[in-house]
Amino acid sequence: MASKDSISRTVMVALALCVVCSVVVSTAAVVLKDKQVANAANEKKVNILTAAGIDIVDGDLQAAFAKVTPKLVDMATGQFTDAVDVKAYDDVKAAKDPALSNALTATQDIASIRRQAKYRTVYLVEGENGLEKVVLPVHGYGLWSTLYGFIALEGDLNTVAGLGFYAHAETPGLGGEVDNPRWKAVWNGKQVFGADASQPLIGLIKGKALPTAKHDIDGLAGATLTSNGVTNLVRFWMGKDGFAPFLANLKAGEA
Ligand SMILES: Cc1cc2nc3c(=O)[nH]c(=O)nc-3n(C[C@H](O)[C@H](O)[C@H](O)COP(=O)(O)O)c2cc1C
In a domain, 80, yes or no: yes
Higher-pLDDT residue of 163, 8: 163
* Max avg pLDDT among 14-23, 37-46, 184-193: 184-193
Indicate the pLDDT class of residue 255, thresholds 50, 70 and 90: confident
d(CA 100, CA 2): 63
Runs of H (alpha helix) within 98-240: 181-187, 224-238
Indicate the pLDDT class of residue 239, thresholds 50, 70 and 90: very high
In a domain, 27, yes or no: no
Q: How far is CA 242 from the centre of its chain?
A: 14
Dist. CA 126 → ligand 1 center (Å): 40
Please, which contacts does 200-204 make with residues 24 or more away whose CB atoms are closer than 8 Å?
A: 200/234, 200/235, 200/238, 200/239, 200/244, 202/160, 202/234, 202/235, 202/238, 203/231, 203/234, 203/235, 204/228, 204/230, 204/231
Mean pLDDT over residues 17-43, rounded?
89
d(CA 105, CA 69): 32
Ligand 1 pocket residue status of 199, Cβ below 6 Å? no
Q: Does residue 156 contact residue 142 with C-beta atoms inside 8 Å?
A: no
Q: What percent of the chain has pLDDT over 70?
A: 99
In a domain, 4, yes or no: no
d(CA 190, CA 151): 12
Indicate the pLDDT class of residue 97, thresholds 50, 70 and 90: very high
Query: Domain span at residue 93?
Result: 49-251
Ligand 1, residue 228: give the atom nearest the CA.
11
Q: What is the pLDDT of residue 3?
A: 73
Ligand 1, residue 219: give the atom nearest the CA.
26
Ligand 1 pocket residue status of 157, Cβ below 6 Å? no
- Three-point CA angle 135, 139, 142, nearest 5°: 135
d(CA 220, CA 207): 8
In a domain, 11, yes or no: no
In a domain, 176, yes or no: yes
Ligand 1 pocket residue status of 167, Cβ below 6 Å? no
The residue whose CA has the least distance to atom 5 of ligand 1 is 171
Q: Does residue 213 contact residue 43 with C-beta atoms inside 8 Å?
A: no
Cβ burial, residue 205 (10 Å; 0-12/13-18/19+) = middle
In a domain, 13, yes or no: no
pLDDT digits 0-9 by tens, 127-144: 998 999 999 999 999 999
Q: What is the pLDDT of residue 36?
A: 87
Mean pLDDT over residues 224-243, rounded?
98
The residue whose CA has the least distance to atom 3 of ligand 1 is 171
Q: What is the pLDDT of residue 2?
A: 60
Q: What is the pLDDT of residue 1?
A: 57
d(CA 166, CA 158): 22
Indicate whether 4 pLDDT > 80: no
State how many domains the chain has: 1
Mean pLDDT over residues 21-48, rounded?
89
d(CA 125, CA 35): 28
Indicate whether 114 pLDDT > 60: yes
pLDDT digits 0-9 by tens, 41-90: 898 999 999 999 999 999 999 999 999 999 999 999 999 999 999 999 99
Q: What is the pLDDT of residue 29?
A: 86
Q: What is the pLDDT of residue 144?
A: 98
Q: Does residue 190 contact residue 160 with C-beta atoms inside 8 Å?
A: yes
d(CA 182, CA 217): 12
Give 207's DSSP letter: S
In a domain, 8, yes or no: no
Q: What is the pLDDT of residue 32?
A: 87
Mean pLDDT over residues 198-226, rounded?
96
Indicate whether 242 pLDDT > 90: yes
Question: Which residues lie closer than 8 Å to 197 by C-beta, 6 or more apart?
Answer: 158, 244, 247, 248, 251
What b-and-e string marks burial along 46-80, b requiring 16 or more CB atoms within 10 Å of the CB? Answer: bbbbbbbebeeeeeeeeebbebbeebbbbbeebeb
Mean pLDDT over residues 169-182, rounded?
97
Torsion sign (Cα): 28, 30, 35, 41? positive
In a domain, 159, yes or no: yes
